[in-house]
């Protein structure tokens, strides 16, 4: 005998497709939905529909937006620095950290094993931007993974012909940690990227 009505079983299966959601979590979410006020649940469902219909990608920097140009690109008070990130969530993290420049979202990183090359990323659009926009600094903010590193090296080589300083995010020891617990690769990067006191 089926323990859940068909609609509940279907929603549980759909929720399990979300990252980090297993059967138990999906069941708890459905229980939460069932306890919600009808208007609140309908509003939630309507917003999910709008999410799919209204959210798009900024035509300039590829951040997610609800209009052709995102709020960052519209903001004339921003610094003329561009942080190149892999995904829009990386830009959100930089924004939370206080960065007040502009962004360019690559839409991934170079990964030969996944058959993702430079042509699959928004690199050509970045180069078009650099010809049109006045940029005081380009900050390569790819993740410190092997793929992120190779993407950064590719970009550094490509950006040499532009008359603009290029920098990278520093890597190294997290604030609040102790040296004895830091892995060797992180320590090596910290020594490599040390700064003068």
Instruction: Give tens-digit pLDDT for 62-120.
Output: 999 999 999 999 999 999 999 999 999 999 999 999 999 999 999 999 999 999 999 99
CA dist 98 and 33 (Å) reads 36
CB atoms closer than 10 angstroms to residue 79: 12
- Cα Rg, the chain, nearest whole Å: 22
* pTM for this model (two decimals): 0.80
Task: Give all domains of the chain, ordered by start, each with its CATH number.
Answer: 6-54 (1.10.8.420), 77-177+185-190 (3.40.1360.10)
Mean pLDDT score of the chain, rounded to an integer? 91
What mean pLDDT do residues 16-22 have? 95
Name the residue among 139, 82, 138, 152 with its Cα closest to residue 110.
152
What mean pLDDT do residues 5-21 have? 94
97 φ/ψ angles, rounded to the nearest 5 degrees? -80, -5
Residue 168, CA distances (Å) to 24, 41, 62, 75, 145 in order: 42, 44, 20, 24, 14
Query: CB of 139 within 8 A of CB of 83?
Result: yes
Residue 105, CA distances (Å) to 17, 57, 108, 158 in order: 25, 10, 8, 16
State whether residue 43 is helix, strand or coil.
helix
Assigned token pair, 72: 């960052």
pLDDT in tens, 20-50: 999 999 999 999 999 999 999 999 999 999 9
């Amino acid at each position: 005998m089926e323990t859940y009505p068909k609609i509940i079983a279907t929603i549980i299966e759909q929720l399990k497709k979300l990252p980090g959601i297993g059967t138990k979590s999906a069941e708890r979410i459905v229980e939460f939905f069932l306890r919600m006020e009808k208007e609140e649940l309908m509003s939630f469902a309507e917003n999910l529909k709008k999410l799919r219909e209204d959210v798009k990608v900024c035509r300039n920097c590829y951040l997610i937006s609800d209009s052709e140009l995102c709020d960052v690109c519209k903001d004339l008070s921003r610094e003329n620095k561009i942080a190149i990130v892999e995904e829009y969530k990386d830009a959100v993290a930089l924004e939370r950290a206080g960065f007040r420049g502009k962004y360019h979202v690559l839409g991934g990183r170079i990964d030969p094993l996944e058959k993702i090359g430079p042509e699959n990323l928004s690199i050509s659009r970045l180069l078009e931007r650099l010809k049109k926009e006045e940029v005081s600094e380009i900050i390569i903010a790819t993740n410190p993974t092997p793929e992120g590193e190779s993407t950064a090296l590719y970009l550094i080589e490509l950006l040499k012909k532009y008359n603009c300083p290029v920098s990278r995010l520093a890597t190294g020891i997290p604030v609040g940690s102790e040296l004895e617990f830091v892995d060797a690769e992180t320590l090596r990067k910290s020594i490599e990227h040390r700064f003068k006191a």
